[in-house]
Amino acid sequence: MGLAALTGVVDLMAYAPLWAWSLIPLGILTQMFNEYNLHRFVFHLPPPKRQWAFNLLYQAHYGHHDFPTNHALFFVPPWVALPVLILNFGLVWGGSALLGLPAAFHIAVAVVLVGGVGMFLAYEWFHMTSHLTIPKRKVERHVTTLHNQHHYRDFSKWFHVSPGGEVIDHIMHTAIDKNALKAKQRAEFIRTLGMRPDDARLIEARKTFAAKYGLSQGEITRAAALKSEQMTENIFEQRRS
């Protein structure tokens, strides 16, 4: 993805008209909506009954909620990111050409490769830092606070991760204000997106991907235990304090 963004910058510098640079903010804004929509409407789909489909979503996102501190599960898988990149580029390029806009290819480069991919890389950075216990700047602390609410209080809220993305959550009514948060009960089975931790599909997925994600037998056993819910609550309270 970084190479795609760099290629886009080189193309704009060498071949594109100067006005194409002005389209980069449009790509940033579009990617912020992509981030929200993909997270909410794809990554949080109701758990499929078929194990193969469940396993795909487990790799894409369910597993990240199941083991939120596992580094191997922090990032969007390439088999999700690259097809979305190709689809978006094709749509913008094709749409611009059909509308008869000049420099249709360079429009797609500015919007998707530079603005969109640049914003995607920023998302990956802020998402990673929100799950790491490291020194953080003010903006990173802000993202961490909101993202922790999604993981440890209510997985149906706060789907943005990138700074400023909370505006979209407010527009889409998936935000939690501070006063409501104080009175809100933690969502049941928060780490497993409402599924019982001992759901057979979860157990099978954990076994299937144990080696890939470095999951120990102890971690798998604890994840399937109902008492892990109380452990999650304790973690959330510690991070809030």
pLDDT in tens, 44-72: 999 999 999 999 999 999 999 999 999 99
In angstroms, the CA 185 to CA 177 distance is 14
Give the mean pLDDT of 141-145: 94
Q: 151: how many CB neighbours lie within 10 A of its CB? A: 20
Range of the domain at 53: 2-240
The predicted model scores a pTM of 0.89
Which pLDDT band holds residue 153 (cuts at 50, 70, 90)? confident
Report CA dihedral (4, 8, 9, 11) to the nearest 10 degrees: 140
pLDDT score of 51: 98
Residue 229: is its pLDDT beyond 80? no
Number of independent structural domains in the chain:
1
In angstroms, the CA 6 to CA 1 distance is 9
Among 115, 177, 146, smallest CA distance to 39 is for: 146
pLDDT in tens, 66-116: 999 999 999 999 999 999 999 999 999 999 999 999 999 999 999 999 999
